[in-house]
Chains A and B, each alone.
Chain A
Amino acid sequence: GQQLNQSPQSMFIQEGEDVSMNCTSSSIFNTWLWYKQDPGEGPVLLIALYKAGELTSNGRLTAQFGITRKDSFLNISASIPSDVGIYFCAGHPRHNSGGSNYKLTFGKGTLLTVNP
Chain B
Amino acid sequence: DSGVTQTPKHLITATGQRVTLRCSPRSGDLSVYWYQQSLDQGLQFLIQYYNGEERAKGNILERFSAQQFPDLHSELNLSSLELGDSALYFCASSVGDSFSGNTIYFGEGSWLTVV
Contact = CB atoms under 8 A, between A and B. Distances in A.
Interface residues of A, number: 27
B17 interface: no
Contacts, number: 69
B50 to A, nearest CB: 8
**Contact-residue size bin, chain B (C-beta under 8 Å from the other chain):** 20 to 34
A52 to B, nearest CB: 16
Nearest to A92: B99
B106 A44 contact: yes
B79 to A, nearest CB: 22
Contacts of B99: 30-31, 92, 96, 99-101, 104
B108 A101 contact: no
19 contacts: A30-B99, A41-B108, A41-B109, A42-B90, A42-B109, A43-B90, A45-B104, A100-B50, A100-B97, A100-B98, A101-B99, A101-B102, A102-B47, A102-B55, A102-B57, A102-B58, A103-B56, A105-B45, A106-B43
Given A40-B109, A45-B103, A101-B48, 12 more contacts: A31-B99, A41-B109, A43-B106, A44-B2, A48-B103, A92-B99, A99-B98, A100-B56, A101-B94, A101-B97, A103-B45, A104-B45
Q: Which 3 A-B pairs have the closest CB atoms?
A: A42-B106, A102-B56, A106-B43
Interface of A: 1, 30-31, 35, 40-45, 48, 88, 90, 92, 96, 98-109
